[in-house]
Structure 1
């Protein structure tokens, strides 16, 4: 779906990626990010959020916590991130973003609470009293008071399998009192996930019961005499849902795929955000009427189901007008994705080294792919400022390796 979207709404990015791969600036097994479009998307989200008084925390896991991506959205006005886990928060911090939220979806392990506290997160989600005590103690030791969000759940709420957990929503007033009593912490509000999801029958994003659970809990807290209650409402976030979330009482939103125009809603409707991510590979070899294409990042987020996959193969020396649109057999989910197999029975000129471009909804952080921002697509002068590993760190390059000593990096070199 997203390859068709790229071809229609951002063909210049496809062309730039093909040229940059051909020149050796974009490697195979790499998620490329159109930073010009990311900036425009982030600006649109920031502007609409400001109109509704919403705090915005960026989710960066889907693009591998790419530091150039982080710097781009910061310049566009989204200055804080949500760390889906502690590693995500650390990468975002190193990428120049403040930490707006930790602990959700993944709680902070007990011996790493001090590390999380050192990041001075604006909000820290806890699922139970034990985790609240750990967060409070670490924050007190760091000399600060931590605002805690309580993850809550009620009968009928919707969770992805393996995401369950939290305080009973009907006990939220007592929970808030207990969190306030912890030295080094204070109760700040409530959260859940997902609070909205794409409904394929309706063709749009709709609230889940979780959002009403948050709203009911906030009402109970206000009735008990509490004032400002933060309502953190993540899930399928784009400009199109911010008004609905504000009307429901949300105060914090966490766009992720909205920043790259790859939410499920973007797949079927032209929303404000434009597509800004693609996967770059190349043909390794030919066998049996198929082109074997390098993998490593062929994890397709299954939120839209596992449908057929297609790719563009751009022959060496050619452009998009010369590209072949081919069907691709992806590796089975239980297999290691060394290669995908493209049917080139009707693409006789395909050869090893040709560029292969995919458009799908990524989750780069669970892969062994690289990520790279691309600047200048809109001005016609595309360039790659850096290539990064899927955890946001810099991958090794040839000049980092001293073949005489087997040392890595400048500190390991010997004269």
Structure 2
């Protein structure tokens, strides 16, 4: 789906990625990110968030926590990140994004609380009293008072399997009192995930029962005399969703795929955000009338369900490149290669292969590279980074350090 979107709305990214790969400046198994488009998308989200009085925290896991992108987000008005785990917070900070929210979806391990506190997060989500005590103690040790968000849950709420956990929503007033009583902590608000999901049949994003749980809990807190309550409302966030979330009482939103124009909604409707990411690979070898294409980052986020994947195989101009169906590795297999049945088409070893799909780079062996200057016709690779946002070591680096 997103390949068609790229061809229609951002062909310059495809052209730049193909040229830079052909020139040896982009390696295969690399997600190329259009910095100019990300900057426009971030500015649009920030402007709408400001209009509605919302705090916007950037989720960067899906783009491999790329530090060049983090810097562009800051330049475009989004100064803080949401850290899906501690490592995410550290990586985003290395690119200049301060930590807006940590501890959700992944809680902070006991002996890492001090590291999380050192990031000075604006908000820290806890699922239980034990985690609240750990966060409070770590903040107190640094002379800080940490704002805590309580993750709450009601029986009717829906979570992805493995994401469950939190305080019972009907006990939220007592939870707030307990968190306030902790030295080094203050109860600041509540959160859940997801508050919105894409409805494939309707072709729209709809709010979930989880959001209704947040609203009911906020009402209970207000009735108990608490008026300054943060509602953190992640899930399928784009400019088009912000007004609906604000009307529901949200105070915090967390755009992730909205920054690269790859939410499910973007796949079926032209929203404000431009598509800004493409997976770059290369033909490794030919066998039995199929092209074998380097993998490593071939994880397609299943949020849209199972679907066919296609790619452009480029050996001259992108606009003349055929769109070919791809046999993707099975989800349980190591993605050393994808295969492209050729049916007699002429393809050469080394040809560029461009994919458009919704990524989650941080769970892969993929690389990322931010490209500046696409909008001005002067594309430049700012750097190549590993899936965790770190600079990958080359063989020359290892040899120079005397490791082998």
Would you say how many aligned residue pairs link Structure 1 and Structure 2?
404
SS at match of 2:57: strand
SS at match of 1:372: strand
SS at match of 1:231: strand
Residue in structure 1 matched with residue 48 of structure 2 by the alignment: 48
Please say if residues 324 and 347 of structure 1, whose CA atoms lie closer than 8 Å, have aligned partners that are also in contact.
Answer: no
Residue in structure 2 matched with residue 297 of structure 1 by the alignment: 297
From 361, 385, 390, give the equivalent of 2:387: 390
Please say if residues 113 and 134 of structure 1, whose CA atoms lie closer than 8 Å, have aligned partners that are also in contact.
Answer: yes
Q: Post-superposition shift, 1:319?
A: 1.1
Residue in structure 1 matched with residue 317 of structure 2 by the alignment: 319
Q: What TM-score does the superposition give when structure 2 sets the normalisation length?
A: 0.99
- Give CA deviations for 1:274-295 in whole Å, capped at 9, x if unaligned: 1000100000000001000000
Residue in structure 1 matched with residue 331 of structure 2 by the alignment: 333
Unaligned runs of 5+ in 1: 408-415
Residue in structure 2 matched with residue 96 of structure 1 by the alignment: 96
- Give CA deviations for 1:310-356 in whole Å, capped at 9, x if unaligned: 000001xx1113312111000000000000001112422x1110000
Distance 1:270 1:87 in 2: 33
Distance 1:182 1:404 in 2: 48
Distance 2:345 2:133 in 1: 62
Please say if residues 289 and 344 of structure 2, whose CA atoms lie closer than 8 Å, have aligned partners that are also in contact.
Answer: no
Distance 1:401 1:107 in 2: 34
Q: Post-superposition shift, 1:398?
A: 4.9
Please say if residues 157 and 210 of structure 1, whose CA atoms lie closer than 8 Å, have aligned partners that are also in contact.
Answer: yes
- Runs of 4+ in structure 1 off by over 6 angstroms are none
- Give CA deviations for 1:194-215 in whole Å, capped at 9, x if unaligned: 0001111221111000001001
Matched, 1:347 2:345: yes
Residue in structure 2 matched with residue 235 of structure 1 by the alignment: 235
Q: 1:404 to 1:135 in 2, by over 3 A?
A: closer
Residue in structure 2 matched with residue 82 of structure 1 by the alignment: 82
Q: What TM-score does the superposition give when structure 1 sets the normalisation length?
A: 0.96
Distance 2:403 2:214 in 1: 55
Q: Post-superposition shift, 1:396?
A: 1.4
> How much is the aligned-residue C-alpha RMSD, in angstroms?
1.0
Please say if residues 284 and 353 of structure 1, whose CA atoms lie closer than 8 Å, have aligned partners that are also in contact.
Answer: yes
Distance 1:138 1:288 in 2: 59
